[in-house]
Structure formats: structure tokens, C-alpha cells
Structure 1
């Protein structure tokens, strides 16, 4: 079997989904948690989930797990044979990578048989089922592939302008791209947002899609149309009470609205259906934390204990997610367990291949630990500086900067040479721009 036989297959292995562009741990956990929730999957969505998860497992270097998921994808197959083109393509590639040449050849032949039974107008055209799975995979994989996903959805709509799935896909792609382009400072006016226009069009064609309601709700909220936002969120939750993604979005919205008890009710109800969701445990912990702050009782023993309990559970379920564990270290400190907090901080910083964003968060939170719990301002300043020196790899950069500014306001003599440090960063930025 030649390499060309594999390259012409349209599947996850040939769609340019590079592992350095994605958070593989996050994708792995997200899909596994979604699959674990007992809910009704429409059409071949569950098959696609197993396909996608199989590719993530391959990128993580666990091909045996990838193979198991592709076998599950075949079991979940519904509809005609065209829905198996991507699965068979993935199996051909995976068996080739694993050195199983005969098996790889057999799956290449299976794809060719489907092509012969269901020919496309031209060799370069993709079957609708393949085009659809490719677009959704790109949209799920990484922010760097959002544009490619949008282009596929847009191109498909040129053939059928009223297609429900394509309109929904384009709406989701525009929503995510607009979020990247606009950021947190500037907002696109609700009436001028291409994402809003497309979301409303998609809603007319697909009124029972809960996530469309969620995204429109978020757009309303960002434009201070809170009454409308609540309407969309309530409809979404009523439509899909078992959809983990919908529940998390709605609960986070409620948290932003400072309705912590309401958010906890929604989250704890979902937790009964998905007890092993690390994301649920993290969000529950956040709400207990914010509820205590709302009560102006940050060290409330009951709420702090519940917060720690859920952070610990989340960490045990997803040890690869560092941020909640950093929060856990700070909560230990608040519970006057400084040694436990120190141990957790040292355990995390010693992890191999710590991502720059995680390392920046570590410096910021370890700085907070020194400043607010140990009373060591000098040590805190040093860690805030270290965090800023990692550049703008996360929102923690601005937090480090603001922490330093507060210290500077308290000490006009600039004991820690903070002004000099800020000046050095400006000089470096100017040099890099030249």
C-alpha cells in the first residue's frame, strides 16, 4: 500500500489538525465527559465524537485507546455507508501507523467501495457527510482552525442556503471568531454583529437547538441586554437539561449575574447525572467561593470546605488541568493550611513541560500566597515580575501588572525597583518592534 493511498483519504489524519495547536488534555476530558452523560444523540453525532476522540488519543500517543474508540464509532454508526468514510479513513491511517499493513489496506478498500457505490460529481468533491464532519472537527479542535471551519460552512451554504446544519455551523464559527477578534475590551454592537445575524438565521431554521440560544444569550449579555439574555438562557436550559455544555454555559452566565444559589442548583442537579465531570466540580467550587465573597465572609468555614472538596475532586478527575489546582492551593492557605498550600504549589511547578500560561498563573498565584498569606511582599513582587516576563500568554499577565502597581502605590521609594522593571519591559517591546 502506497503512502498516496492514505493521503487521498479524507479523515482527521489528513485535515491538518496539528497537536501543537490544541490543548489535547482539555479536548480529551471534554469529549469523555460529554460521552459519559446518558442522553439521546441525534443521527451520527455520537459516532463523530468517537472519531474525534480517537484522533485526540492518537495525538496523545495512546494508539490502543484510539483503536478502541474507532471500534465504538463503527458500533454507533447509523444511516447509510457514507457516514463510515471518515471512520474507515481513520482506521486505515491508524493501522498503518501501528504497522498493521493488511488491516490498513482493507480499510482503504472499504473507502474505495463506498466511493464506487456513491460517486461524487468530481474526484475533489467531498461527500456531504465527510464535509460536515471535517468542518465540525476543525471548529472543535482549536481556535487556529476556526477560519477554516467557517470557510467550509460558508462554501457549503452556496449549494443550499437554507440548510439547517450548515447555517448553525457558520453561526457557531462566526460567534467564536468574533470573540477572538473583539476580546474583552471592545464590543461589537449587537445590531452590527455578523455572528448575531447568522445566529438568528440559524435559530429560525433550527429553533430547538439549545446552544444557539446560549450563544445569543451571551451576545445579549455582552451588550447589556440582560433581560433578553435571561430569556435565551432559560429556554436553552429547558430544552437541554442533560447537555453538559449547555448547563455549564448557563451556570457561568448565572455566576456573572451574581446568582450563585441559582447556578449551584443547576450545577448540582447536573452533577447527579455526571458525577465524574471535573469541569462541573470546578464550576461548583467557583460558585461556593463567589457566594462567600458576596456574603463578605471569604473564610466562611462551610463554604470554604465545600469549595476545597470540589476542587480536590476535580483535581483527582483531571490532574492535567493545572489552574483549578492552583486555586486549590490558595484555598488551602485561606483555610490556614499553609504547609499543604506550599506542598501543592511546589508539586505543580515541578511538573514536566508546564505550559507558559500555566507557569504564568503559577507565578501570579504563588505571589498572592506570599503577599496575602505569608506577608512577604518582596517574594510576591519577584513572582509577579517572573509572571510578566513570560509575556502576554494569558490574562494573568495583566493581573501581575496590576499587583505590582498596587505595591508601587504603597511604597513611593520603589523599594523593589518596579518602575525600573516596567521601563525595561517597554524597552524590550520597542526593540522587538523595530
Structure 2
């Protein structure tokens, strides 16, 4: 790399644009992201400029730099035509992306020309740096980019939308993004937002104050109201949302989820299949259809006749299993790095059908993934442990997975379930054999992770009575004992 390139890259890394916001090739599913962004650039969809900006980033990562430049030209054209008064605020990200794409193409003079343009734009803003200005449009578009990339960035996206709204309180685009990310954070049991799940409802109502005909806000608010048993208003909003946005596939998808949760599987599947004709590769739609078929499968699986070949229930069960597997697989094939839930759902159906090799392959792949939300890491450990316990009948492997879930320092429902299952297994082992050294040691580790020092010491001491030379328990006991004496010097210990 030449000295000129080095100096240019230092400048580029100071920019605020998709290339400096975190999610890169290793932790997003590029093909699926590209498909979603292309689906978003359809008639009737607003805010297309940000989609073209994001699409340019994805195309560049895939090596399609000429296509990326065309995306940016479209974004710039939209901003000039539709946002003339605020063009300079909104063009900052597009110019930054231009500079990065030309850099990747080796066209350094062109890259520098866009840095020069940014410098001229940023001089208008009193708090700007040389090449960027943290205005609401930058915060807002960064929020959308992070929101679309992966769930591990939701907290950061939420902060971006809050910053954007500080400067532009009535912006529909930023209010909608803030509502959506709040709604998603509320579904994760370890987040602060999950303890006050009404935040997103207020935010969706704010969007509807600003735009009473916003179909997406209507159906998303309906889903939150449904969770709060406010069914009458929820139903009205779904019907109105479908009426106001008859051509928006994501509105139909969310409406279908509402009908599924309401128990109307036929209506849900009908809507989802109709929408799938428009977006045949949608991971979300395939997953929702799979969940609908799973809801039909579960009561049938409890029917003893479903286990007898030749019976109608047996045939129905087999058909539903195939449908679940097909749709869950299509949901995660394009999103192996980010659609964790679809993979866990697929594994459970395979377990139900005795396809243990498929299950082991899924869990093996998932356990190797990094850069995941802690709830997902814990969910993977939990489900892998339950599979080992109930299907493979391996208590030792189950214990390993449950412990790994507990070691992730994050309080969630999944962590509690890992702990409860671990405790049940160990207590069962001790009832069978009160002198089970490993069981006492595991119990000590569990107490240690819970911060229960006295109980941890007692368990490790019992384990060492039975196996005095066990280095793992000696080390763990020493750690617990010494942690009670923080003021002692090393010599005193």
C-alpha cells in the first residue's frame, strides 16, 4: 500500500458512513441483506435514499463496486429531488460512501474529491469536524443501518435514534426506527427495555400522530397491544393497516403474525403465502410460515395415533414435519450468521423426527458462532443441553452446555433455564449417588457462578474429600477462599 493510500485511509476512517459503522463482511449475511434492501426499494416505499446507501455498502463488500457507484448516484438523485432544503445534512453519508467505494476501486483521486466535497459541506455546521457533522440525519441513518444489520447492534441503534430525535423531534423516519428497535429490544429478556414493554407502544402511537395512515406502525402497534390483551384495538389496527398499505409485503407479514398469535393459522398462512409470491426469498416470511405449521404439529404429535403408520394422524404429522423443516431451512439458509431462532426451530423439529445427525450439525455450527447477542448464546447452550439430556441421554454433555450458558455474564430467561436444568441434573445425580465427586464439583461451579460463596466452598470441599487431587476443584476452592480476604498480601496467603 502506497503512502498516499495510507494517508487517504486515515482520512476515510474519520468519516461517518456505512464503512465505519461496525457491521462488516464477517458478521452479516450479505446476500440476504442485499435481497432485503432491494425489496425495500419498491413503489410505495419511502426513504429509498438510505436503502440505496446501504445497498452500495453491501455491493462494495461483495466486490460489485460499479454497481455500488450506481446505487450512490440513485441516492444522491433522490436527495436532490426530494430533500432540496436539507440536502447538505442528508448527503454527508452518501459522499462518505462514495469516497470509500472509490478507494476500494483504487481511484484515489475520485475518493479525495469526495472528501473535499465533505469538507465544504461540513464547514456549514458549527460543531462539525473536518469531514463529518453529527447532525440528526447522520444519527438517524446510522440507526437504520445498525437496525437492519444484526440484533447485536440494537442497543447502539436505539441510542442513534434517540440522538436524531433530540434535534428533530417530529421526524417520522427517526420516530419509526426508534419504535421498531424498542419493540425488538423488549423481546429480549436480558434488556432493560424488556422490563417496561410499553415504551415501544408509546413510540408507535407517536408515529401515528405524525402520520395517521402509516400502515407499518399500525400493525406493529397491534402486535404490542395483542401482547397486552388489548385485542379490540389491535384487531382494528390490523384491518386498517392492511387497508392503508395493501401493497407493502412487510405490513402483510406482520399482520399474519398477529393472526397466528390470535390462533387463526389458516388466515395467517393465507396472508403469508400471498406475500411470499411477492418476496419468495424472505427469511422472515418463511420462518413465520414454519411457526404456523409447527403450531398445527404440536397438538397432533401428542396424539398416540400419530405414531402408528397407516393412520391419518401419522400421515398428517409427517407432512407437517416436512413443511416445518422446509420453511425453517429456507429461513436460515440465507442468514446462517444472524437468524439464530430459525436454526433452533429447525433443530427442534429434527429432534422430534429423530434426525439427530441434522440436530448435532446445527448445534455444532451455532456453538462456533461469535458476535451474537448474549441471549442467543445462552439459548444455543440451553437447547444443545436439552437435546443431549432428553434425546442423547448424556447428562455429562448436557451439564457442559448448561454450564457454558451460565458462564455468560448476562441475566436473561435463557440463563435462568440453564441454571434450573443444571441444578435438576446434578441433584438427580446426587440422589443416585451421594458420593458423586463430579456432581459435587459441578454444584460448586454453579454456586460460584451465582456468587454464592459459602455454598460453593462447601460443595468444592465435598468434591475434594472424594477426589483430593482434583486440580480444577482445588483451584476453584482456592479462588473462593482467597476472594474473602482481599486485604491480605500474597505472603500472608
CA distance in 2 between counterparts of 1:67 and 1:319 reads: 27
Q: Distance in 2 between matches of 1:173 and 1:377?
A: 39
Write out aligned runs for 1:215-294 (5 A): 215-294=220-299
Instruction: Provide the residue aligned with 1:90 in structure 2.
Output: 97
The answer to whether residue 162 in structure 2 is matched with residue 150 in structure 1 is yes
Give me the whole-angstrom Cα distance separating, in 1, the residues matched to 2:230 and 2:186.
18
| Rg larger in structure | 2
Match of 2:326 in 1: 309
Instruction: Please name the residue that 1:425 is paired with.
Output: 446
CA shift for structure 1 position 305: 1.1
Please give the alpha-carbon distance, in whole angstroms, between the structure 1 residues aligned to 2:18 and 2:360: 42
Alpha-carbon deviations, 1:286-320, whole Å to 9, x = none? Answer: 22112212445486111111101112323433333
Residue from 51, 54, 59 that aligns with 1:52: 54
Partner SS for 1:64: coil
* Whole-angstrom distance in 1 between the partners of 2:263 and 2:391: 27
Q: Is the 8 A contact 2:41 2:48 kept in 1?
A: no
Would you say the 8 A contact 1:267–1:284 is kept in 2? yes
The answer to whether the 8 A contact 1:138-1:149 is kept is yes
Q: Is the 8 A contact 1:284 1:310 kept in 2?
A: yes
2:454 alignment partner in structure 1:
none
Task: Please give the alpha-carbon distance, in whole angstroms, between the structure 1 residues aligned to 2:229 and 2:12.
Answer: 51
In the alignment, which residue of structure 2 is the partner of 1:19? 23
Structure 1 residues 175, 302: CA separation in 2 closer, same or farther (over 3 Å shift)? closer
Query: CA 1:48–1:293 in 2, change beyond 3 Å: closer, same or farther?
Result: same
- Structure 1 residue 98 displacement after superposition: 5.2
Paired residue for 1:404?
422
Distance 1:259 1:419 in 2: 49
SS at match of 1:288: helix
Query: 2:210 pairs with 205, 211, 217, which one?
Result: 205
Instruction: Give, in whole Å, the separation in 2 of the partners of 1:349 and 1:178.
Output: 24
Name 2:36's counterpart in structure 1. Answer: 33
Q: CA deviation at 1:123?
A: 7.0
Q: 1:147 to 1:57 in 2, by over 3 A?
A: same
- Structure 2: gaps (5+ residues): 147-152, 307-316, 452-479, 487-493
1:318 aligns with 2:335: yes
Change (3 A) 1:25 1:379: same
Q: Which moved more, 1:211-220 or 1:272-281?
A: 211-220
SS where residue 277 of structure 2 aligns?
Answer: helix
Q: Aligned equivalents of 1:121 and 1:339: distance in 2?
A: 60
Pairing partner for 1:334 from 352, 366, 376: 352
CA distance in 2, matches of 1:253, 1:133: 33
Contact 2:363 2:380 in 1 (8 A): yes
Shift of 1:75: 3.0
Written as runs of structure 1 = structure 2, the 5 A alignment for 1:345-364 is 345-346=363-364, 348=365, 351=368, 353=370, 355=372, 357=374, 360-364=378-382
Aligned length: 414
2:104 paired with 1:105: no
Decide whether the 8 Å contact of 2:242 with 2:251 is kept in 1.
yes
- Shift of the 39–91 alpha-carbon distance from structure 1 to 2, 3 Å rule, reads closer
Which of 69-78 and 86-95 deviates more? 69-78
1:147 shift after superposition = 1.7
TM-score, L = length of structure 2: 0.69
Using the alignment, how far apart are the partners of 1:235 and 1:422 within structure 2? 55
Q: Which deviates more from structure 2 when the two are superposed, residues 168-177 or residues 266-275?
A: 168-177
Q: Which moved more, 1:293-302 or 1:327-336?
A: 293-302
2:140 corresponding residue in structure 1: 135
